[in-house]
Amino acid sequence: MIYAYIAVMAITTYLVRALPLTIFRGKITNKYIRSFLKYVPCACLSAMIFPSILFATNHIISGAVGLLVAILFALRNKSLVIVAASSCVAVYVTELLMTLI
């Protein structure tokens, strides 16, 4: 039975990727559809990552602090390494303070 499940998922995954290529053969010229399609990957990635940011730590507050620090550093155009490192340090310090309190 597991092979049937694998086959169904393989077909589903293939259809999701192949149907847009066969349906939309020409270049999409509608500016609204192009704008929508431009932001779909960012929206999907954000929807998948956001819950993990908040719930990956022991306290939701430390996840929120790390998120805020990452946003602040990213808005200041810091490199990805600086943003990631600073948010990790913020989470660590917040977790440490919360265990002491």
Distance CA 92, CA 51 (A): 18
Are 49 and 82 in contact, with CB atoms under 8 Å apart? no
- List the chain pLDDT tens, one digit each, 101 residues: 899 999 999 999 999 888 888 887 788 888 998 888 888 888 888 888 889 888 988 889 999 999 999 999 999 999 999 999 999 999 999 999 999 88
> What's the DSSP call for residue 1?
-
